C-alpha cells in the first residue's frame, strides 16, 4: 500500500527563489538522485511509538514533511507489537546542496608506504626498531580496532604492525587505565602510543582520549613535540568525525576503515627525520 | 564400513582429538583443584545467602573475604574463619558480621579443635541451604518446561542491551512475543574487570546492563510471565565470565537463569584476565552450572573475529574440544554444552558458503548431543545494511541446513549500534522466513561423499588433531602464551586478577566445593518448594 501526502509544491528549478544571481554563479546545486536527474528521491525507515493504522501513517507523513520530504509516500508500515509501527518512506527532498561550497577534505599529508618501504625507512633513519604501544583505554573492551591495526592478522588484507620487522608492538589489549598506559609507554620508551576507542556512550571516547592526552602531556612536561621528548599520540575509532586532533590534545585521529599501512606510513612521516624517509 | 554421519569422519581421528584434549587439559584441571581465588571464596558466601553492599556499593562478601585474606590468608578458605567468628561473636547473621568487619571490629582466626568442628558444621549447613535453593530452582525450571512447554530447536537467541533493566524488560518481552526463545541481557562493558558484583536493580550501563542478582530476578520473573502468556518457556542468558565468574554463576543458579556464557579461554584472550585465575574460577562456575541445570555457551566465535575464519577454523574445533573436556570434568552433561562457532568467512572468498556449511556440519557431527550455538557474521558486516541482511539470511540458511541448536539472530546494523527495536523485528522476519521456507531441509542436505564439503571438514579435523598434539606437548598455558588462540599472546603470569589466586593449604575447607566435588549434579536433590 502506498499513501501519498497532499501534492507538494511543484519542484522548483534548482537555485530559483534566491537573491538575484551574482555576476558569475559558481554554485553547483545538487539533490539526491533516484532515477532521474533532479528527482530528489530519498528512502528512509523509522519507528514511531504508536499502534499501526491510518493515524500512524499520517504521523509518519507529517514527520517526512518536516524532514523536508515533499511529497512523501509510506510504502511499508508494519506493526511491531501493539505499541510500535515500523515505516519505510520515500519522498522528494526539498533541500538543496551547493556542492561547490563543500570544501574538499585535505589530501593525506604523507605518502602511503608498503610494509617493506616503511621498514626500510625506519632502519635507515633510526638504526633501531620503532616502538609502538597500543591499547583500548577506559571501560572500552572492544579490541577490534586496535587489533585490526596491530595484530599480524591485520585488516582489509593488509598485515598489522606486528608484521613489520622494524616495528616493535606492545598491545596492551582492552580496558587499560591511562596510568597503566603511561607507565608502559615510559618503560618501553615508546615512539608512538596508539589508542582505540569504539564505545561512544555519553562521549566516553572523547573524555577518555582527552584524559589520556592530558596525562601524557603532564608526564613529559619538557617535550618539544611528538617524537621530541614525548611519544606521538594517535587515536582511532569510528566516531571522532566531529572533533579535531587539537581539541583532543593528540597528534592524529584515524577514522573508520583506516588500514595498518596508513598508520605505519603516518608513523614514518611523523617520527622520522624528513629527508631520511623520502 | 558404514559411513559415519554425513561427513564420514574417521572415528579414530575423532577419538585421538578427544584423547589429546584430555591430555592438554589435565595439568590445568590439577591446578584448578589445588587452588582457590577470592571470587570462589566470595561465591561460597553468596551461596550462604550474604547479599547487599555498603553505602559506597562495596558488597559485604568483598568486605568479609578481604578481611579474612588480610588477617589470616585465604589458603585455608574463608569458611572456617567466617563461621568461627559468626558462632563466637554477637552477630545474628553473616550481614551483621560483615558490617562489623567493615568497621574494623572483627578479628578472624583459624579455629582448632572443637571450635573448628562447630564452624565446619555451621558452614556446611549454610552451604547446603544455598545448594538446596539452587536445586529447587532447577526443579522449578523442569516443571515450567513441562507445564508451559519447551520450544523446538533451533532456538532463536536474541540480545537486549539498553543499560537499564527497566527498559530491558519490555524489550525482552517484546522480543519473546516476536519469537525469541532465548533472551540474553548483554552485560555492561567493563563489568568483566570489576572485582565485585554490583548490587541491586541498575539503570545505567555502557553498551549493556550490569549483571546483578536483583537484575537476574527481575528479568527471570518478567520472562516467566511472558512464557505463560506465550505457552513456551523463554530462556534467560547472562555471562559467567570475568573476575567474578564464580559469584555470577552462583547468582545464576540461585535465580534460575537458564544459560550462561562461560568459555574456558575467552577472558584470558579477549579481556586479558590472568589464565590461572580464569581456569580456577571456571571449574567452580561450571560445577555450579552443572548442578543448576544451566546450559553454558562457549565463545569460540570470538576467535574468528580476530583470526581468519578459514585459516583458523581448526582453532575453533580445538577450543570446543577443550571446553568439552573442562565441562565434562566439572560435571556438565553433553546437553549442557552450548559449544559456540560462527559464520565469519569473508563473503568475498569464493565458495565461502560451501566452507561455512562444511565447518558447521563438522561441529554438528563432532558434538551430536551438544546444543550448539551458532553465531552470525559480525566481522564482515560493513555498514551496508542491505548486504548485511542478505548475509544474515545465508547464515540462517546454514544454521537450518546443518541442524544447529541455538541460532543467535544477526542484526543488519551489526557494528553500527546496539540493535534497535526495528532491527530486531527485521532480523526475526529474516530467520522466520528461512526456517519456514526450509522446513526439514537438513534431512536432504547430504554432502557428496569425498566432495568439497566432506573434504574440507576432514581437513579441518586433521588440522585440529595436529594443533592439539602441539598443545598437549607444550602445555595449554604455554600455547595460550604463544598466541595460539585468537592470535593474542597471554602469558600465564600476566593479566588481571593473578593477585586473587591462592594455592590451597592442607586442610583447605570450602563446603560448597565439598558438595560439588562429592555429589552427582544430575540426580534430583530437591523437592520443589510450593510456590508462594
Residue A254: band (very low, low, confident or very high) from pLDDT cuts 50, 70, 90: very high
Mutate to test the interface with B, among A60, A82, A139, A241 (most CBs of B within 10 A): A139
For B68-81, give one letter per residue: b (16+ CB within 10 A) or e.
bbeebebbbbbbbb
Are residues A169 and A134 located together in one domain of the fold? yes
Cell output for B340: 559456540
Q: Has residue A6 got a pLDDT over 90? A: no
Residue A157: band (very low, low, confident or very high) from pLDDT cuts 50, 70, 90: low
Q: How far apart are CA B105 and CA B488, in angstroms?
A: 46
Shortest CB distance from A80 goes to which of B192, B272, B425?
B425
How many beta-carbon pairs below 8 A join chains A and B? Answer: 68
Shortest CB distance from B190 goes to which of A139, A143, A256?
A139
Number of H helices, E strands in chain A: 7, 13
In angstroms, the separation between the Cα of residue B249 and the nearest Cα of chain A is 21
pLDDT at A278: 43
Mutate to test the interface with B, among A45, A173, A180, A255 (most CBs of B within 10 A): A173
pLDDT at A16: 47
In angstroms, the separation between the Cα of residue A269 and the nearest Cα of chain B is 28
A68, A101, A134 — which closes off a domain? A101
Are residues A128 and A263 located together in one domain of the fold? yes
- Give strand pairing partners of B253: none
Residue range B396-406, pLDDT digits in tens: 999 999 999 99
Are residues A159 and A249 located together in one domain of the fold? yes
Residue B301 annotated in active site? yes
Are residues A80 and A132 located together in one domain of the fold? no
A101, A135, A156 — which closes off a domain? A101
- What is the value of ipTM here, to two decimals? 0.80
Residue A13: band (very low, low, confident or very high) from pLDDT cuts 50, 70, 90: very low
Inter-chain contact B305–A144, Cβ cutoff 8 Å?
yes
- Ranges A76-85, A150-159, A247-256: which has the least confidence: A150-159
Query: Of B210, B266, B374, B508, which one is the catalytic site residue?
Result: B266
In angstroms, the separation between the Cα of residue A72 and the nearest Cα of chain B is 21
Residue B517: how many other CB atoms lie within 10 Å: 12
Residues of A in Cβ contact (< 8 Å) with B271: 141, 173-175
Scan for cell 589445588, then name that residue. B34
CATH code that applies to domain B151-461? 3.20.20.440
Residue A2: band (very low, low, confident or very high) from pLDDT cuts 50, 70, 90: low
* A59: in domain: yes
Indicate where chain B has its CATH 3.20.20.440 domain(s).
151-461
Residue B166 annotated in active site? no
Residue range A174-210, pLDDT digits in tens: 788 999 999 999 999 999 999 998 776 678 888 899 9
Query: Of A54, A153, A159, A210, which one is the catalytic site residue?
Result: A153
Q: Specify whether the CB–CB gap between B169 and B219 falls below 8 A.
A: yes
Q: Has residue A106 got a pLDDT over 90? A: no
B116 interface with A at CB cutoff 8 Å = no
A101, A135, A166 — which closes off a domain? A101
Number of residues that make up chain B? 532
Are residues A252 and A134 located together in one domain of the fold? yes
Are residues A89 and A201 located together in one domain of the fold? no
Q: List the end-to-end C-alpha distance of chain B, in Å, as a whole number.
A: 58
For residue A115, what are the contacts with CB-CB under 8 A and spacing of at least 6? Answer: A159, A163, A164, A261, A264
Inter-chain contact B177–A81, Cβ cutoff 8 Å?
yes
What are the angstrom distances between the C-alpha of B48 and each of A114, B32, B251, B500, B512? Answer: 61, 22, 11, 21, 9
Report residues of chain B scoring pLDDT below 50. 530-532
Could you tell me whether strands A130-136 and A192-196 are parallel, antiparallel, or unpaired per DSSP bridges?
A: parallel
B482 interface with A at CB cutoff 8 Å = no
Query: Of B263, B281, B301, B423, which one is the catalytic site residue?
Result: B301
pLDDT at B433: 95
Are residues A119 and A95 located together in one domain of the fold? no
pLDDT at B242: 93
- Between positions 109 and 128 of A, the ones with CB within 8 A of B are none
Q: Specify whether the CB–CB gap between B145 and B186 falls below 8 A.
A: no
SS (H, E, C) B441-479: HHHHCCCCCCCHHHHHHHHHHHHHHHHHHHHHHHCHHHH
pLDDT at A22: 57
Residues of A in Cβ contact (< 8 Å) with B420: 47
Are residues A120 and A210 located together in one domain of the fold? yes
- Between positions 374 and 393 of B, the ones with CB within 8 A of A are 383
- Give strand pairing partners of B53: B59
Residue A186 annotated in active site? no
pLDDT at A4: 58
Radius of gyration over alpha carbons of chain B, in Å? 23
Residue range B51-71, pLDDT digits in tens: 999 999 999 999 999 999 999
Residues of B in Cβ contact (< 8 Å) with A237: none
Are residues A129 and A70 located together in one domain of the fold? no
Q: How far apart are CA B305 and CA B366, in angstroms?
A: 23
* A47: in domain: yes
Residue range A223-238, pLDDT digits in tens: 888 888 999 999 998 8
**Structural domain count of chain A:** 2
Mutate to test the interface with B, among A141, A143, A169 (most CBs of B within 10 A): A141
Are residues A134 and A265 located together in one domain of the fold? yes
* A219: in domain: yes
pLDDT at B90: 95
Residues of B in Cβ contact (< 8 Å) with A153: 306-308, 487
pLDDT at A15: 46
For residue B364, what are the contacts with CB-CB under 8 A and spacing of at least 6? Answer: B372, B402, B403, B404
* A235: in domain: yes
Residue A48 DSSP SS3: strand
pLDDT at B412: 94
Mutate to test the interface with A, among B207, B274, B495 (most CBs of A within 10 A): B207
Instruction: Provide φ and ψ at B470, rounded to 5°.
Output: -65, -45
Residue A20 belongs to domain with CATH number: 3.30.30.60
Residues of B in Cβ contact (< 8 Å) with A147: 306, 487-488
Residue B531: how many other CB atoms lie within 10 Å: 6
Share of residues in chain A with pLDDT > 70 (%): 87
Beta sheet of A41-48, edge-to-edge order: A3-4, A69-80, A84-93, A41-48
Burial label for B203, CB within 10 Å (0-12, 13-18, 19+), is middle
Shortest CB distance from A201 goes to which of B207, B307, B487?
B207
Are residues A246 and A157 located together in one domain of the fold? yes
Cell output for B183: 533472551
In angstroms, the separation between the Cα of residue A222 and the nearest Cα of chain B is 32
The boundaries of the domain holding residue A28 are 3-101
For the segment A65-74, the average pLDDT, to the nearest whole number, is: 98
Are residues A236 and A134 located together in one domain of the fold? yes
pLDDT at B2: 58
Cell output for A234: 594517535
Residue A206 belongs to domain with CATH number: 3.40.50.280
Residue A274: band (very low, low, confident or very high) from pLDDT cuts 50, 70, 90: low
Amino acid at each position: 500500500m502506498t499513501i501519498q501526502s497532499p501534492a507538494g509544491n511543484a519542484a522548483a528549478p534548482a537555485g530559483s527563489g534566491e537573491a538575484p544571481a551574482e555576476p558569475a554563479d559558481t554554485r553547483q546545486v545538487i539533490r539526491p538522485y533516484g532515477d532521474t536527474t533532479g528527482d530528489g528521491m530519498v528512502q528512509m525507515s523509522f519507528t514511531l511509538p504508536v499502534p499501526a493504522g491510518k493515524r500512524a501513517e499520517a504521523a509518519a507523513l507529517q514527520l517526512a514533511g518536516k524532514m523536508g520530504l515533499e511529497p512523501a509516500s509510506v510504502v511499508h508500515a508494519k506493526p511491531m507489537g501493539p505499541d510500535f509501527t515500523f515505516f519505510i518512506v520515500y519522498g522528494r527532498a526539498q533541500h538543496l546542496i551547493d556542492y561547490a561550497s563543500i570544501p574538499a577534505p585535505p589530501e593525506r599529508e604523507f605518502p602511503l608506504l608498503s610494509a617493506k618501504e616503511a621498514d626500510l625507512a625506519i632502519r635507515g633513519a633510526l638504526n633501531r626498531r620503532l616502538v609502538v604501544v597500543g591499547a583500548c583505554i577506559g571501560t572500552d573492551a572492544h579490541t577490534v580496532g586496535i587489533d585490526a591495526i596491530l595484530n599480524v592478522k591485520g585488516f582489509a588484507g593488509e598485515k598489522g604492525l606486528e608484521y613489520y620487522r622494524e616495528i616493535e608492538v606492545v598491545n596492551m589489549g582492552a580496558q587499560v587505565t591511562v596510568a597503566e598506559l603511561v607507565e608502559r609507554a615510559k618503560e618501553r620508551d615508546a615512539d608512538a602510543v596508539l589508542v582505540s576507542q569504539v564505545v561512544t556512550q555519553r562521549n566516553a571516547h572523547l573524555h577518555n582520549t582527552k584524559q589520556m592526552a592530558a596525562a601524557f602531556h603532564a608526564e613529559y612536561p619538557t617535550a618539544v613535540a611528538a617524537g621530541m621528548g614525548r611519544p606521538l599520540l594517535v587515536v582511532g575509532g569510528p566516531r571522532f568525525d566531529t572533533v579535531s586532533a587539537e581539541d583532543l590534545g593528540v597528534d592524529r585521529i584515524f577514522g573508520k576503515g583506516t588500514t595498518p599501512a596508513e598508520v605505519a606510513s603516518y608513523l614514518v612521516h611523523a617520527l622520522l627525520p624528513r629527508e631520511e624517509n623520502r | 564400513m558404514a559411513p559415519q554421519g554425513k561427513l564420514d569422519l574417521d572415528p579414530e581421528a575423532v577419538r585421538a582429538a578427544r584423547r589429546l584434549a584430555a591430555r592438554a587439559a589435565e595439568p590445568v584441571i590439577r591446578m584448578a583443584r589445588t587452588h582457590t581465588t577470592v571470587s570462589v571464596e566470595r561465591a561460597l558466601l553468596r551461596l550462604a545467602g550474604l547479599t547487599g553492599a555498603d553505602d559506597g556499593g562495596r558488597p559485604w562478601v568483598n568486605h568479609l573475604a578481604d578481611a579474612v585474606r588480610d588477617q589470616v590468608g585465604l589458603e585455608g578458605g574463608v569458611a572456617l574463619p567466617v563461621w568461627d567468628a559468626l558462632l563466637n561473636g554477637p552477630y545474628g547473621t553473616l550481614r551483621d558480621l560483615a558490617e562489623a568487619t567493615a568497621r574494623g571490629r572483627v578479628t578472624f582466626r583459624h579455629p582448632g579443635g572443637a571450635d573448628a568442628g562447630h564452624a565446619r558444621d555451621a558452614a556446611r549447613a549454610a552451604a547446603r541451604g544455598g545448594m538446596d535453593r539452587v536445586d529447587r530452582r532447577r526443579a522449578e525450571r523442569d516443571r515450567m518446561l513441562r507445564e508451559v512447554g519447551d520450544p523446538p530447536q533451533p532456538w532463536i537467541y536474541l540480545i537486549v542491551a539498553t543499560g537499564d533493566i527497566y527498559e530491558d524488560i519490555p524489550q525482552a518481552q517484546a522480543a519473546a512475543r516476536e519469537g525469541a526463545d532465548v533472551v540474553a541481557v548483554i552485560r555492561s562493558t567493563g563489568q568483566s574487570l570489576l572485582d565485585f558484583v554490583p548490587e541491586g536493580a541498575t539503570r545505567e550501563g555502557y553498551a549493556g546492563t550490569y549483571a546483578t542478582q536483583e537484575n537476574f530476578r527481575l528479568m527471570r520473573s518478567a520472562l516467566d510471565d511472558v512464557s505463560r502468556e506465550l505457552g513456551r518457556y523463554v530462556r534467560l542468558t547472562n555471562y559467567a565470565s570475568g573476575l567474578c565468574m564464580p559469584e555470577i554463576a552462583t547468582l545464576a543458579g540461585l535465580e534460575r537463569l537458564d544459560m550462561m556464557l562461560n568459555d574456558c579461554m575467552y577472558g584470558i584472550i579477549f579481556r586479558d584476565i590472568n589464565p590461572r585465575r580464569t581456569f580456577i574460577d571456571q571449574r567452580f562456575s561450571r560445577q555450579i552450572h552443572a548442578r543448576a541445570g544451566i546450559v553454558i555457551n562457549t565463545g569460540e566465535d570470538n576467535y574468528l573475529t580476530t583470526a581468519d575464519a578459514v585459516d583458523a577454523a581448526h582453532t575453533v574445533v580445538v577450543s570446543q574440544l577443550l571446553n568439552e573436556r573442562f565441562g565434562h570434568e566439572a560435571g556438565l552433561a553433553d546437553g549442557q554444552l552450548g559449544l559456540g562457532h560462527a559464520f565469519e568467512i569473508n563473503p568475498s572468498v569464493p565458495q565461502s558458503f560451501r566452507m561455512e556449511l562444511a565447518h558447521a556440519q563438522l561441529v554438528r557431527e563432532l558434538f551430536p548431543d551438544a546444543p550448539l550455538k551458532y553465531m552470525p557474521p559480525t566481522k564482515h558486516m560493513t555498514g551496508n545494511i542491505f548486504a548485511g541482511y542478505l548475509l544474515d539470511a545465508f547464515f540462517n540458511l546454514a544454521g537450518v541446513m546443518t541442524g544447529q541448536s541455538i541460532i543467535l539472530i544477526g542484526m543488519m546494523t551489526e557494528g553500527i549500534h546496539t540493535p534497535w527495536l526495528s532491527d530486531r523485528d527485521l532480523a526475526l522476519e529474516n530467520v522466520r522466513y528461512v526456517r519456514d521456507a526450509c522446513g526439514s531441509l537438513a534431512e536432504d542436505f547430504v554432502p557428496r561423499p569425498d566432495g568439497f564439503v566432506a573434504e574440507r571438514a576432514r581437513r579441518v579435523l586433521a588440522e585440529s588433531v595436529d594443533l592439539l598434539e602441539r598443545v598437549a606437548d607444550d602445555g595449554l598455558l604455554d600455547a595460550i602464551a604463544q598466541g595460539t588462540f585468537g592470535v593474542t599472546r597471554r602469558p600465564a603470569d600476566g593479566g588481571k586478577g593473578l593477585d586473587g589466586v591462592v594455592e590451597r593449604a592442607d586442610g583447605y575447607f570450602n563446603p560448597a566445593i565439598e558438595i560439588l566435588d562429592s555429589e552427582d549434579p544430575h540426580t534430583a536433590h530437591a523437592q520443589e518448594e510450593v510456590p508462594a
